[in-house]
Structure 1
Amino acid sequence: MSFLMETDIEPGLELLQEYLNSTPVASRLVLLRNIQLNSVLRDNQELLQVVIDAMINLKLMDEANRLADYI
């Protein structure tokens, strides 16, 4: 199951969090990559926080810290 990412539509944060909490690690990593490629995270602080939390959950501390610099 994949999470649809549109370049011009922000994802529903509640659905995004549910997806990130219920899918295999590989699927989460793909989604996090797609979000970073298709979204300007610094313009959406709520989405940025969801991404950072997911990265921390996956123990991707260096990447989470790099993104936290936007906050």
Structure 2
Amino acid sequence: MTSIQRIAIPAGLTIIRLTSTSRSKAVQAAGFLALEWCRSMDGLSWPVNVLASLFQSAMTRTEGFNEERVGIG
């Protein structure tokens, strides 16, 4: 029986990747929150605004592009 060899990923690269991804998501969420606070998210409570901005920042990266116009005039 042959054994499967696993490729070891250095721990430093994993930490760098997770750190840069989390910082990128935080910046994207903060930007969306700042730009849409009084526009498309007007009338929502602040916890809902934060959650919506986190969701929006994750979905634009996951889908690759926006499928609908968000917060534009």
TM-score (structure 1 length as normaliser): 0.32
Q: Which is helix-richer, 1 or 2? A: 1
Larger-Rg structure: 2
TM-score (structure 2 length as normaliser): 0.31
